[in-house]
Amino acid sequence: MFKFSSLLALGAVAAISLAGCQKAQDTATQPTAISNDVKAQVKALGFGTGDLKAVDGGYVVEGDIFLSPELLASKTDYKMLRVGADEQYRTTNLVTGLPRTLTVSLSTRFPAAYVTAIDEAIRRYNAANLQLHFTRITSGTADLPVKYSSNLGPGVLGQSGGFPSGGNPAPGFTLVPSVINSTNTNYIATIMAHEMGHCIGFRHTDYMNRAYSCGGSASNEGASTVGAILIPGTPSAPDPNSWMLACVGNGVNRPFNTNDVTALNYLY
């Protein structure tokens, strides 16, 4: 299984390894020291610190959620509503000004397979007939730039730009093709659509218990100033195929299922 964040799990065994939105932990690598003040700020926002990582310009929690210094310093406003165990969750802030078209750009450093994949990710969203539309551009500044990196740390597939703020989406995300190590269009599109979901305000479907898709011990990702609010109409039972599950198997394709479409249409 791949974690949508980092994507190689701690101590993967044999042919099964965890990978995710963002990064993986290499026990042979000495982690960057994080001060107690920063840990306290992260906890005040409602996130756990068990997988807290220092990255360029801030910190990463939940494997693929970037926390900037500005967000860490923000006023705590704990908002959470839970019904059941494994439903679709959203942040308090969403993209506003609907109907609206968000532009997406792809770094020219990506292999050709990524061009096909981003077009497929965009097609999936647009096929849902939302008030939020996506279009890819090849010049100018995009709302959601997809950036290329050769290394974000051991086992890291990519990194989300965070969640919406001020009515605008998070500023795109970064992917590491050498770690994704695939030319499978639907698999790459699934990763891209997942990160796009974070950018427009979706949290992990198994937010209350990451063990559902990632295995291991039960782990609640925590609410925060960004919120963790159940989307009405989504199931209170586990949803094994949602595109926003925290972990995904290598090569797995997760187009939007019926519950995902319900969640997308409720928000947008």
pLDDT tens digits, 56-114: 888 887 666 677 787 777 654 433 333 233 345 555 678 999 999 999 999 999 999 99
Which of the listed CATH numbers 3.40.390.10, 3.40.50.2300, 3.40.228.10, 3.30.420.40 matches domain 77-267? 3.40.390.10
Pairwise CA distance, residues 72 & 224, whole Å? 10
Contact 214, 20 (CB under 8 A): yes
Q: Which residue has the higher pLDDT, 167 or 234?
A: 167
Report the predicted TM-score, pTM, of the whole model to 2 decimal places: 0.69
Residue showing tokens 């406003």 = 77
The band of 235, judged by pLDDT with boundaries at 50, 70 and 90, is low
Kindly report the average pLDDT of the chain as a whole number.
Answer: 75
Predicted local confidence at residue 219, as pLDDT: 44
CA–CA distance, 140 with 142 (Å, rounded to integer) = 6
DSSP for residue 175? E
